[in-house]
Amino acid sequence: MPAPDARRSMRLFCSLLCVLFWLGGCAGLMGEPLRVNVAGLEPLQGEGMEMRFNVKLRIQNPNDTPVEFSGVSLQLDLNGQSFASGVSDQSGVVPRYGETVIVVPLTVPAFAAVRQAFAFAGSAQAGNIPYEIRGRLAGGIGGTRFVDHGKLSLPTQGLLGP
Distances (CA, A) of 142 to 43, 70, 72, 82, 145: 31, 12, 12, 23, 9
Range of the domain at 19: 1-30
Mean pLDDT of the chain: 77
On whether residue 162 sits in a domain, the answer given is no
For the chain, what is the total number of helices (H) and then of strands (E)? 2, 7
Q: Are residue 54 and residue 18 in the same domain, yes or no?
A: no
Q: What is the pLDDT of residue 102?
A: 94
Distances (CA, A) of 80 to 63, 119, 120, 126, 131: 31, 11, 13, 14, 7
Average pLDDT, integer, range 99-121? 80
Q: What is the pLDDT of residue 139?
A: 84
pLDDT above 60: residue 61: yes
Task: Write the pLDDT tens digit of every residue in 139-162.
Answer: 877 788 888 888 876 544 444 444
Q: Are residue 20 and residue 78 in the same domain, yes or no?
A: no
Q: Are residue 24 and residue 41 in the same domain, yes or no?
A: no
Q: Are residue 59 and residue 117 in the same domain, yes or no?
A: yes
Q: Give how many domains the chain has, as a whole number.
A: 2
Q: How confident is the model at residue 122 (pLDDT cuts 50, 70, 90)?
A: low
